[in-house]
Structure 1
Amino acid sequence: MIRSICLNPVIDKVYFINHFTAGRLYRDNCPARYAGGKGVNVAKVLALLGEACAIYGFIGGDSGRRLEDELISLGIQSKFIEIAGDTRTTINVIDKERNLETEILELGPAVAEEELQALIGQLTADIAPGDIVICSGAIINGAPPSIYKAIAAICVAKAAYCFLDTYGEAFHASLPGQYYFAKPNLKEFSEYLGLENKVDDRTIVAQAERLMAKGFENLMVSMGKSGAILVNHTVRLQASPPVISNQSSIGSGDASVAGYAAAINRGSDVEEAFCLSMACGVSNAMHREVGFIDLSEVNELKKRIELRHL
C-alpha cells in the first residue's frame, strides 16, 4: 500500500488569464476547481497509475467534504481526520502568453494536539512492512515542523519506505532522518545548501552526495524543463525529457514523486523508476488539470526520456 500524507489539503481554483496584470478588472472568468495540495496531487496520480493508495491529513467544513468526496470517487481511501477549521482555498492564475503562474496561498486551519496524536496513532496502526509513505508539502498550522521526521521514524520501526517532498523550515526540521527518497527542486536544493542559483551538473551531483549524508537513499533534484538528476549510493543519472506543449507545471513535481513511488512499489529498478517519474511529471504539464496524467501519454513519454550516467 502507498500512503500519501497531505496535512494541509486545499481546493485549487485555477484561472487562465493571458496578460494578467495586478490592479485590473477581469470579468466573466470561470475557474477550474480541483482537490489539491502536494499529497493530494500525489494520491490522484497514483490512482491514475492503478496503485492502491490511502491519504492522510486534516479536513474541515464544506470545502473539506467536497475535497474528500472527489478523492473517494477516484478510488483513493480516505483516512482524513475532520477538524473544526475550514479546508483552505488556493488561487492560481495561469498566463500562458507570458508563461507566468501566480499563486495566492491561504494559511489554512490550525490543528490541536489531540488531532495530531490521532493522525500519528492512525499511521502507526496502518503502516505495514513494505508500505511506501509519502510526506509531501507544507506543515499545517499547529503541527511541529519536525512532524515528517516523526513519521519517518514510524516507517523505520515498521520496515516501511518513507519519501520526503517538502521545503523551507519543514525540510530543515526533517533532517537528519531516514528517507528512502526525496525530491527537492533546484531552487529548494540550492537554498538549503547555500548555492548560487546557477549551478552545473557536476556541482549538483557533488552537493547531492553531501546531502545524502543527512539520511537519504535516493535523492532527485528536479530542474523543470531541463529534467532532473538522481543520485544514490551506486548511480548518478541525468534525465532529459522531450520538448512538449506546456499547459501548466503546477503539480508536475508531485506527479514525478507518484511515478517514482509506483515504480518502486512494482519492484522496478532505479532507471525504470526514474523514467516513469519523469514521464508522469511531463504528462501532468501537458494538461490544465492539476495532479492529472494520461496513461497512454506516460507510456509513450517513458520511451522518450533520455538517461545519461554522470
Structure 2
Amino acid sequence: MIITVTLNPALDKTLVLNRVSMGEVNRVDSTRNDMGGKGINVSKVLKELGMISTATGFLGGILEEVFRKELKCIGITDEFQSVSGNTRTNIKVVDEERKEYTEFNEPGPEILPEELSDFYDKYHALVKEGDLVVLSGGVSQGVPKEIYGTLTKMAKEKGARVLVDAEGEALVQAIHEIPYMVKPNERELAGIVGKEALNVDEMIHEGEKLVKKGIQLVLISRGAEGSILLTDHHTFMAEGLKVPVRSTVGAGDAMVAALAFGLEMKMNPKEMLTLAQASGAAAVMKEGTQAATKEEIYAHVKDAERKIKGWKR
C-alpha cells in the first residue's frame, strides 16, 4: 500500500487574469478550487495512474468536511487526523500576459500536543511491512522540526520504504534516518548544503553523497531544465520537455507520484525517471493542482525516454 502524508494541506484557489495590476482593482477571468497539499496531490495523480493510496495528515475547521467528501469522491482512502485549527487556503495568481505565477500561502493551523500524539498513534497503526510511505511538503505550526525524521524511522521499523519530498530542516532530519528515496529540487538541495545555488557537477556530487549514506534513489528536479536521477550504480540526466505551461504548481508532486508508482510496479530507475518526466510535463499543462490523466501523462513518455542519457561518473 502507498501512504501519503500531508501535514499541512490546503485548499488551492487559482485566480487566472489576463494581466495583474498591483495596487489596483483586478477583474478575475476564471477561478478554480482544488483540494491540495503535496501528499494529497501525489494521491490524486496515483489515482489517475490506476493506483489507490491512503492519505493521512491533519484536517480541521470548515474545510475538513469538504476535503473528506472530495477524498471519498475521488476514491482516496481517508485516514486524516482531525484537529481544532482551520485547514488553510492558498491563493495562486496566474498572469497570462506575463506568464507569471504568484503564490500566497497561509501558514496553516497550530497543532496541539495531544493532536500530534494522536497522529503518531494513527500513523504507527496504519503503516505495515512492505508499504511505501510518501512524506512531502511543509509542516503546520506546533509540529516539531524533526517530525520527518521521526516518521521515517517509525516506517522503517515497521518494514516500510519511505520517499521524501521536503526542504530545509524537514529534509535534513529525514536524511539522518536514511529514507529509501529523496526528491529535492535544485534549490532545496543547495539549501541543505548551505549554498545559494549549485551547478550540474555540484548537484551530482551532492546527490552521490546522499547515495553513499545509504539512500537508494535520489532524484534532483530542475524544473524546465529536466532532472537528475542517481543510484549506487547509475546516474541519468533527463532533459526538460518543451510543453505549453499553464501552471507549475503540483509538477513536483506529479513527479513524486510517478516515482511512487514506479517503485510499486518494480520499474527500473530509467523507466521511473521517464514516467516522472512525463508526469511533470503533463502537470504543468493543467490549471491549478488538477491532476493530469493517465492518457495525458503517457502521451509524453516516448519524448521523455528519448531525452534521457547516462552520465559517466
Structure 1 unaligned spans of 5+ = none
Partners in 2 of 1:241 and 1:190 — Cα distance? 20
TM superposition shift of 1:238: 0.8
Secondary structure of 1:179 counterpart:
coil
Quickly say closer, same or farther: Cα 1:156–1:28, change in 2 above 3 A: closer
- Larger displacement relative to structure 2 (288-297 or 51-60): 288-297
Tell me the alpha carbon deviations over residues 198-244 of structure 1, each in whole angstroms, 9 at most, x when there is no partner: 51x22221121123345522111101111100111111001123211
Correspondence for 1:111: 111
Kindly indicate whether the alpha-carbon contact (under 8 Å) linking 1:185 and 1:222 is maintained by their aligned counterparts in 2.
yes
TM superposition shift of 1:173: 3.0
Correspondence for 2:86: 86
Secondary structure of 1:204 counterpart:
helix
Q: Does 1:253 align with 2:252?
A: yes
Kindly indicate whether the alpha-carbon contact (under 8 Å) linking 2:49 and 2:293 is maintained by their aligned counterparts in 1.
no
Partners in 1 of 2:83 and 2:218 — Cα distance? 34
With normalisation by structure 2, the TM-score equals 0.94
Correspondence for 2:188: 188
Correspondence for 2:271: 272
TM superposition shift of 1:156: 1.2
Kindly indicate whether the alpha-carbon contact (under 8 Å) linking 2:4 and 2:133 is maintained by their aligned counterparts in 1.
yes
- Larger displacement relative to structure 2 (85-94 or 109-118): 109-118
1:53-132 correspondence to structure 2 within 5 Å: 53-132=53-132
Correspondence for 1:2: 2
Partners in 2 of 1:28 and 1:184 — Cα distance? 34
Secondary structure of 1:175 counterpart:
helix
Partners in 2 of 1:13 and 1:153 — Cα distance? 34
- Larger displacement relative to structure 2 (102-111 or 288-297): 288-297
Give identity over the alignment, percent: 31
Kindly indicate whether the alpha-carbon contact (under 8 Å) linking 2:223 and 2:240 is maintained by their aligned counterparts in 1.
no
1:3-18 correspondence to structure 2 within 5 Å: 3-18=3-18
Correspondence for 1:290: 289
User: Which one-letter code corresponds to 1:49 in the other structure?
Assistant: L
Secondary structure of 1:178 counterpart:
coil
Q: Does 1:160 align with 2:180?
A: no
User: Which one-letter code corresponds to 2:257 in the other structure?
Assistant: A
User: Which one-letter code corresponds to 1:307 in the other structure?
Assistant: I
Partners in 1 of 2:21 and 2:190 — Cα distance? 30
Secondary structure of 1:174 counterpart:
helix
Q: CA RMSD in A?
A: 1.5
Kindly indicate whether the alpha-carbon contact (under 8 Å) linking 1:43 and 1:55 is maintained by their aligned counterparts in 2.
yes
Partners in 2 of 1:215 and 1:144 — Cα distance? 25
- Larger displacement relative to structure 2 (39-48 or 108-117): 108-117
TM superposition shift of 1:297: 2.1
Partners in 1 of 2:145 and 2:260 — Cα distance? 24
Kindly indicate whether the alpha-carbon contact (under 8 Å) linking 2:137 and 2:166 is maintained by their aligned counterparts in 1.
yes
Kindly indicate whether the alpha-carbon contact (under 8 Å) linking 2:186 and 2:198 is maintained by their aligned counterparts in 1.
no
Correspondence for 1:141: 141
With normalisation by structure 1, the TM-score equals 0.95
Correspondence for 2:302: 303
Partners in 2 of 1:291 and 1:45 — Cα distance? 9
Q: Does 1:210 align with 2:209?
A: yes
Partners in 2 of 1:96 and 1:68 — Cα distance? 32
Kindly indicate whether the alpha-carbon contact (under 8 Å) linking 1:176 and 1:215 is maintained by their aligned counterparts in 2.
no
Q: Does 1:173 align with 2:173?
A: yes
Secondary structure of 1:292 counterpart:
coil
Quickly say closer, same or farther: Cα 1:263–1:175, change in 2 above 3 A: closer
Secondary structure of 1:45 counterpart:
helix
Kindly indicate whether the alpha-carbon contact (under 8 Å) linking 1:16 and 1:96 is maintained by their aligned counterparts in 2.
yes
Partners in 1 of 2:109 and 2:223 — Cα distance? 31
TM superposition shift of 1:97: 2.1
Kindly indicate whether the alpha-carbon contact (under 8 Å) linking 1:218 and 1:231 is maintained by their aligned counterparts in 2.
yes
